[in-house]
Structure 1
Amino acid sequence: MIIYNVTTNIHESVHDQWMAWMQEKHIKEVLATGKFTSARMVKVLIEEEMGGTTYSVQYTTDSKATLEKYYQEDAPKLREEGLRLFGDKMLAFRTELQLISEH
């Protein structure tokens, strides 16, 4: 199992708009690609020096190959909307995680 983790710091001035967009539209659109089986959104409980609030969205997929297909077929269009709507009020970075075990 692969977890595609997107960590985002969002500026206070667009926080509520971004949160609504994420929960009502963006996460659903990512899941609708058919390349992920689930998603969860969590708040990062640290105070950032730069301000804002940080969240992590973790999308679960079956393999690295499926994730690569997402990057090629879907990611550019889905990322573009966030950049267009929130620009420099949103700072995101992505990591890929491999599940080793659950206890």
Structure 2
Amino acid sequence: MIIYNVTLTIDNSIHDKWLDWMKKKHINDVLATGQFISARLVKVLVDEEMGGTTYSVQYLAASKEHLENYYANYAKKLRDEGLALFADKMLAFRTELEVLAEFYHESN
């Protein structure tokens, strides 16, 4: 499994509009590509020195091939939509993570 992690810092001036767009449209559009199993939107609990609010969106792909297919066929269009709506009011940083193992407390 591969986690495609997108960390975004959002300017306060567009925060509510961006968060609504992410929850109602963008994440669903990414999942609709068929390249990811699930997604998780989380808020980073640190105060940003430059202001704004930081989030991480974690998309789970079954394989590196699924992620590569996303990059080749869908990523540009979906990224461009966000840039057209929010321009320089959001800053994104992307990482790829490989899931090696998952552990759960025995009561779960």
TM-score band by shorter chain is over 0.9
Aligned twin of 1:55: 55
SS at 1:28 equivalent: helix
Aligned twin of 1:41: 41
TM-score normalised by the chain length of structure 2: 0.94
* Equivalent residue letter for 1:3: I
Aligned twin of 2:89: 89
Give the aligned CA root-mean-square deviation in angstroms: 0.4
CA deviation vs aligned residue, 1:5-50 (integer Å, no higher than 9, x gap) = 0000000000000000000000000000000000000000111111
Instruction: Report the alpha carbon displacement of residue 65 of structure 1 after superposing the two structures with TM.
Output: 1.0
Number of aligned residue pairs: give it.
103
* Equivalent residue letter for 1:79: R
Aligned twin of 2:106: none
Q: Which aligned pairs between 1:2-21 and structure 2 lie closer than 5 A?
A: 2-21=2-21
Structure 1 residue ranges (4+ consecutive) displaced by more than 6 angstroms after TM superposition: none
Aligned twin of 2:28: 28
TM-score normalised by the chain length of structure 1: 0.99
Q: Distance in 1 between matches of 2:75 and 2:7?
A: 15
Q: Which has the larger radius of gyration?
A: 2
Identity of aligned residues (%): 66
More helix by share: 1
